[in-house]
Amino acid sequence: MSTNFFRTVQSSLRHSVYRPSHITPIRQFHTTLPRMTVHNILTADAFHTAVKENKVVLLDCFATWCGPCKAIAPLLANHSNDEQFKDIFFAKIDVDELPELSQELGITSMPTFMIFKDGEQQDKLIGANPGALVALLKKSIAA
């Protein structure tokens, strides 16, 4: 008998013994959709609508080329899924895509985080400071 025959038998035995067809694979991946998310605002009208329709809005003003913006983005996404910040609408704008809105808001550096309450700007944080961001979020829900 040839060695190819033995390899074929050995391979089929290995698959049937180690992973029978009636048993599901060992690794099962489940994806859970986040309860909240960071919404990407694409137009100035969408921004104004979001500020009007939500009681508290956190706006992240970022640029795609900004290193600190990229570093803090996952932290912001985690905070958007945090139960204690469930009443905050998380939004972000690309300052290069919306230069008129960036100028209207007075954005001078990135990242800039702004809190809007009842349609009015309440607070502002410039820079990628995770501790200060958490303090800003907690301050916005406390008042």
- Which pLDDT score is estimated for 142? 84
State the architecture of 38-142 in CATH terms. Answer: 3-Layer(aba) Sandwich (3.40)
Question: Cα dihedral angle (69, 73, 79, 81), rounded to 10 degrees?
Answer: 150
Distant-in-sequence, close-in-space partners of 110: CB < 8 Å, separation ≥ 6: 61, 62, 63, 66, 68, 69, 95
Contacts of residue 10, Cβ cutoff 8 Å, sequence gap at least 6: none
What are 33-73's pLDDT values in tens digits? 445 589 999 999 999 999 999 999 999 999 999 999 999 99
Which pLDDT score is estimated for 12? 56
pTM score, whole prediction? 0.74
Arithmetic mean of pLDDT, 68-93: 94
- Is 69 an annotated catalytic residue? yes
Q: For the segment 3-17, what is each residue's pLDDT rounded down to a tens digit?
A: 665 555 555 555 555
Q: Which of 66, 101, 110, 115 is catalytic?
A: 66
- Which is more confidently placed, 9 or 135? 135
* Cα(14)–Cα(137) distance, integer angstroms: 55
pLDDT at 113: 97
CB 69 within 8 A of CB 77: no
Contact 137, 79 (CB under 8 A): yes
Let me know if 61 is a catalytic residue: no
> CB–CB of 80/90 below 8 Å?
yes
Catalytic-role residue among 69, 91, 110, 133: 69
Please say if the pLDDT value at position 24 is more than 50.
no
